[in-house]
Chain A
Amino acid sequence: MLCSLKNITGSRGVTRRFRPAGLASFIFVMFVAVAAGTVSADEIKISVVPSEISISAFYDGAHIKAAGTIPAGADVVIRITGEGEEVHLKKKGKVGGLLWMNTGKLTFKNVPAVFMIYTTPDVADRVNHETINLGYFSAKDQIELEPENEAKEALFKEFVKLKESERVYVIDTGSVKYTSGQAGPRQFEADIAVPPKMKPGEYVVEAYAVKNDHIVARADTALVIKLVGFPAWIASLAFGHELLYGIMAVVVAVAAGLLMGVVFKSKGGAH
């Protein structure tokens, strides 16, 4: 059974869609848990409001509210991940023991474009625990590095720093709040900042219930970000009518330059 589950996640990996490892360990845990009759899937729920974000001309990121329920006595880990993408990087190194410069190129394949974790501080410390494994490194096995390099882990750490500086890789421990007591199912909610750097696309928002260093339940919902209005028009022009777009960009620039020349001349003429 376990073997066949692994095969399923393996074949998904081939389709180059990013699938974090947490899901595989969760499926296994669920299998054990359901067999033991301890958890019902109804006990975990998550929803986000709004579930669709529109990027218009003056967009500068957005806020969404995630809320839901987890089983009694458990803690929640909310995780948002995007599709796998290919990232080309320059590697920096020291040349001649003195000068820092680019010493090579490398490509990460199938790395999540976005990886955000929202939870409480004590759980955040444990997200990389092997039975939880929801942190950045849960994506490690799916990620390919080209050219092959023995320092994959160290390079991935540097990549994570880069992504964290763009605020698309986040481990946040301050936003999750519980709105009901310890007894019975727990209600949680979290304010989540969607940075402007999060590209249009489909994202998965997952809720994991963690209890005694094990995942006991999982639910997910979708978050869609899309371009509308002016930015959508520009993007469709740039990717659908490349030549026209390039010529238009030049014509507008020349026109703006000439116009400014006329404006300043009429000003100068007053002297």
Chain B
Amino acid sequence: MLHMYLPIAGNSVNILIILGLGGFVGLLSGIFGVGGGFLMTPLLIMFGIPPTVAAASDSNQIVGASTSGTLAHWRLGNVDFKMGILLLAGGIIGGTLGVQVIKILRAMGNADFLINITYVIMLGGVGAYMFWESLQGLKKSDAPQHEEEKPVKESGYAKALASLPFQTDFEKSGVRISALLPLIFGTLVGVLAAIMGVGGGFIMVPVMVYLLRMPMHVVVGTSLFQILFTCVNVTIMQSYSNHTVDFVLALLLLLGSTAGAQIGTKISKRLKGDQLKILLASLVLLVCVKMLYGLLATPDIMVAIAGGH
């Protein structure tokens, strides 16, 4: 068994396991446009990496995977840079706000309870809705004779969207909406991501699909583009203020994940939007169940090292 020593994490890991882990999470990243921190961080902790180092090194890894994924999706014409930049700007504002919000929550006490419950309800709600909605879509496409039976009704939400100022064409996404929308939603996701200590891909993807009404394939590419910059920021900040980025660990993960992201993009291309959505919904529900299990099962040890997700 070939091992490598991680000088910042202060432990050694099996090279093949970490390469495989990187490859798998990179694959998910390329298919769905998520960073995969929800999966990677707990697994790294399981392999004996301190929680804070696991989370920070993972964002270093995501920089590589999302560069690789963004490039691959860009070649397919799936990255809406205009939308991505607005979401990103919102995300940065939201992230800064979120850090302040969490300080207030912590001061009030019981913050963890609130965060955990919100997280589970949100994952469960978003996952279930996405699953149901894409299932309907798949059923419809199975019965092509019924296609376009009636024009989609203008909902109150759509009317409200149309009345906002700064209406802008987002050609890649094929939508015309106010430029304020991605900025606002980006901010909201940024706040949530900061509070929950996650990258936010899981929240951002459904927001882009349902609230910004972007096509699923463009959502994946644009999400990766946005994640890339978020993680560049996190990596530098964590290296600078907390010394928690283990470059050796990130490098091992990278080697797997950058390849995984390329293969993931190829898989993504072959799947229909609804198929992608239903798979992602299943994944979201799985994470929700895992979190619930964590909350309900009696822990073996009543204390844990602080930090991480």
Contact A59 B63 (CB under 8 A): no
Contact B5 A55 (CB under 8 A): yes
How far, in Å, is B124 (CB) from chain A's closest CB?
15
Partner of B12 from A61, A249, A258 at Cβ < 8 Å: A61
Contact A242 B239 (CB under 8 A): yes
Known pairs A89-B304, A89-B306, A92-B299; A257 contacts B68 (CB<8 A) = yes
Q: Which residues of B contact A166 (CB under 8 A)?
A: 48
Known pairs A92-B302, A161-B300; A264 contacts B72 (CB<8 A) = yes
Partner of A245 from B2, B66, B113, B239 at Cβ < 8 Å: B239
Which chain A residue lies CB-closest to B294? A100
Q: Which residues of B contact A90 (CB under 8 A)?
A: 303-306
Known pairs A89-B303, A159-B303; A246 contacts B8 (CB<8 A) = no
- Could you tell me the distance between the alpha carbons of A242 and B258 in the complex, rounded to whole angstroms? 25
Interface positions, chain A 252-268, Cβ under 8 Å from B, are: 252-254, 256-261, 264-265
Contact A91 B250 (CB under 8 A): no
Known pairs A87-B305, A98-B296, A158-B302; A253 contacts B7 (CB<8 A) = no
Contact A253 B63 (CB under 8 A): yes
Contact B64 A254 (CB under 8 A): yes
B167 interface residue per 8 A CB criterion: no
Contact A249 B262 (CB under 8 A): no
Please indicate which of the listed interface residues A89, A245, A257 has the most CB atoms of chain B within 10 Å of its own CB. A257
Q: Which residues of A contact B290 (CB under 8 A)?
A: none
Interface residues of A, count at CB 8 A: 60
Interface-lining segment among B179-187, B213-221, B241-249: B241-249
How far, in Å, is B145 (CB) from chain A's closest CB?
35
Q: Which residues of A contact B63 (CB under 8 A)?
A: 249-250, 253-254, 257
Q: Which residues of B contact A231 (CB under 8 A)?
A: 5-7, 248
Contact B5 A57 (CB under 8 A): yes
Contact A235 B7 (CB under 8 A): yes
Q: Which residues of A contact B212 (CB under 8 A)?
A: none
How far, in Å, is A201 (CB) from chain B's closest CB?
10
Contact B48 A88 (CB under 8 A): no
Contact A197 B48 (CB under 8 A): yes
Partner of A92 from B60, B262, B303 at Cβ < 8 Å: B303
Known pairs A90-B303, A238-B7; A60 contacts B12 (CB<8 A) = yes
**A158-174, CB under 8 A of B: which get 1 and which 0?**
11011001100000000
Which chain B residue lies CB-closest to A154? B302
Contact A253 B254 (CB under 8 A): yes
Interface-lining segment among A19-27, A73-81, A101-109: A101-109
B207 interface residue per 8 A CB criterion: no
Known pairs A101-B112, A197-B10; A257 contacts B304 (CB<8 A) = no
Contact B247 A249 (CB under 8 A): yes
Q: Which residues of A contact B75 (CB under 8 A)?
A: 265
Interface positions, chain B 157-212, Cβ under 8 Å from A, are: none
**A124-155, CB under 8 A of B: which get 1 and which 0?**
00000000000000000000000000000001
Which chain A residue lies CB-closest to B265? A264
- Could you tell me the distance between the alpha carbons of A89 and B304 in the complex, rounded to whole angstroms? 5
Known pairs A57-B5, A232-B7, A243-B240; A249 contacts B60 (CB<8 A) = yes
Contact B3 A238 (CB under 8 A): no
B99 interface residue per 8 A CB criterion: no
- Could you tell me the distance between the alpha carbons of A243 and B303 in the complex, rounded to whole angstroms? 33
Interface-lining segment among B77-85, B130-138, B148-156, B230-238: B230-238
**A229-253, CB under 8 A of B: which get 1 and which 0?**
0111011001100110111111011
Q: Which residues of A contact B11 (CB under 8 A)?
A: 196-197
- Could you tell me the distance between the alpha carbons of A239 and B8 in the complex, rounded to whole angstroms? 9
**Pairs across A and B, CB under 8 Å, 22 listed:** A57-B5, A59-B3, A88-B305, A99-B295, A102-B304, A162-B305, A166-B48, A197-B11, A199-B10, A231-B5, A238-B8, A242-B239, A246-B235, A246-B239, A249-B236, A252-B251, A252-B254, A256-B64, A256-B258, A260-B261, A260-B262, A261-B67
Closest 8 A/B residue pairs (Cβ): A257-B67, A246-B239, A60-B3, A253-B64, A260-B258, A231-B7, A261-B71, A257-B68
Given contacts A246-B237, A254-B64, A264-B262, 4 further A-B contacts (CB under 8 A): A90-B304, A234-B8, A249-B60, A256-B67
- Could you list which residues of chain B lie within 8 angstroms of chain A, going by C-beta atoms? 1-8, 10-12, 48, 60-61, 63-72, 75, 112-113, 116, 232, 235-241, 243, 245, 247-248, 250-251, 254-255, 258-259, 261-262, 294-307
